[in-house]
Structure 1
């Protein structure tokens, strides 16, 4: 289960609450920008444009503190690409989901020679839950906020979920709450306060399950290709990652006949022509 994907869904579906929470702004004229950035594409978690101030809020969600390349370098890379494309002020915020004492969660800058780059870091386990309980889109993050009583926090979140009137939104938010709650609480405690049937009925939950299966197949196929033909060039890896689950299954069988990257290229070209 990708916890980061839950957060990406929330930021993409409900950008205004994130703007209000992180920028203390009531702006409503916001625009969700493409998260895939140019030049050897990398994908940011969420990129939100505030049109009234011509500025950008860039969000990255981290479950684990380790990152390749290191997070400070990634944040500079994102900033340069975003600024090259939009030429406006950029507020970058890294939100750590799971409590850790790792230095990465307490680092907010890259400093190399004359180069200095800063960004904000939000450690959810240090945050007051109250602001996150006021908006349905932020309820999933509330379960990871500071608390003296796990049961009381889960009960508060469950109460707010039950108050969501629109059924589809309620199912999706409930699914996000339960998935993120699993980062912190035991399953038995979660089941005491949250209704599992809502999560199971959520389309976003099914999409995340499907995406997890697809990513697993992508990783397996690329590992098999590496063993079979050596290092797979980035552009071919990108094409493999764009394949459907059915196509990945077909490639996992066909690759045993490959002798070089040329065979992979030919197979991909043939697949695109189908």
Structure 2
């Protein structure tokens, strides 16, 4: 849920992410993971944004994982295979505060191979930074501040200044979802209107994505039980191609 929300924000407010992570406002288009031969299940927590000059790879993580450094290297190699001339900026963004040393890993080393990437720990970023850009407002409650509840109120006030109702609803929903990593639901719904959040595109898309994930999990179980690709596709509603990709994960 948190990863899906972050992906939605990066897709729809790419210019704000470029200003934050690249230090410049540039037009970015989403690069589909399939263009790098990435399985859709593995791609849930990441997004690739591409300009004429470079690729921005953002990896969102609620909690650290041991394999993140290797995954970052893997994505870089795949992007290089696609276009050896285009540089790639890679940033791992940790959402939830933790004392794990894994969130301080910024490189992968294996024998003579060494690859570096950037890491951002949201709780070390000033909350005021996120309030400057509409697409980053939902991160404010996770940023560094004296009072996360008061920061969420400021975020809500900032969203209310946005004129487009759909954008307002999407940012309120995203703010409420991400604030759940820091605040109780009772506090969140006291500050944000639940009815507006539930009508937003981001809220509905997350529900839809949840259904797709459930279908994939069921399909994987069917494949483990030995059902044919055609039978799994018929039983889950997934396409033959999607089931074949899932089957490759089991091989």
Same fold per superposition (TM over 0.5): yes
Deviation for aligned residue 1:105: 1.1
Q: Distance in 2 between matches of 1:172 and 1:40?
A: 28
Partner of 1:187: 185
**Mapped pair 1:49 → 2:50:** yes
Match of 1:166 among 158, 164, 167: 164
**Mapped pair 1:82 → 2:82:** no
Within a 5 Å distance, the mapping from 1:58-97 to structure 2 comes to 58-66=57-65, 70-87=67-84, 88-97=86-95
Deviation for aligned residue 1:63: 1.1
Secondary structure, aligned partner of 1:116: strand
Deviation for aligned residue 1:36: 2.6
Partner of 1:15: 14
Bigger Rg, structure 1 or 2:
1
Deviation for aligned residue 1:80: 0.6
Q: Distance in 1 between matches of 2:82 and 2:156?
A: 41
Report Cα offsets for 1:213-266 as digits up to 9, x if no partner.
23123213422441x229x9xxx59x96xx6xx85179xxxxxxxxxxxxx98x
Partner of 2:236: 248
Give the direction of change, closer, same or farther, for the CA distance of 1:206–1:183 in structure 2 (3 Å limit): same
Within a 5 Å distance, the mapping from 1:177-216 to structure 2 comes to 177-216=175-214
Within a 5 Å distance, the mapping from 1:131-142 to structure 2 comes to 131-142=129-140
Deviation for aligned residue 1:139: 0.8
Q: Distance in 2 between matches of 1:225 and 1:76?
A: 30
Secondary structure, aligned partner of 1:4: helix
Which has the higher relative contact order, 1 or 2, with Cα contacts under 8 A spaced 6 or more apart?
2
Q: Distance in 1 between matches of 2:132 and 2:206?
A: 25
Q: Is the 8 A contact 2:156 2:192 kept in 1?
A: yes
Deviation for aligned residue 1:147: 1.3
User: TM-score scaled to structure 2, two decimals?
Assistant: 0.85
Deviation for aligned residue 1:77: 0.4
Partner of 2:118: 120
- The alignment covers a number of residue pairs equal to 237
Deviation for aligned residue 1:130: 1.2
Moved more, 82-91 or 216-225: 216-225
User: TM-score scaled to structure 1, two decimals?
Assistant: 0.79
Deviation for aligned residue 1:106: 1.1
Report Cα offsets for 1:36-58 as digits up to 9, x if no partner.
3434645372212232xx11211
Q: Distance in 1 between matches of 2:183 and 2:7?
A: 21
Q: Which runs of 5+ in 1 are unaligned?
A: 251-263, 266-274
Q: Which runs of 5+ in 2 are unaligned?
A: 245-251
Give the direction of change, closer, same or farther, for the CA distance of 1:247–1:162 in structure 2 (3 Å limit): farther
Deviation for aligned residue 1:167: 0.5
Q: Is the 8 A contact 1:37 1:81 kept in 2?
A: no
Deviation for aligned residue 1:116: 0.4
Deviation for aligned residue 1:151: 2.1
Root-mean-square deviation (CA), in Å? 2.6
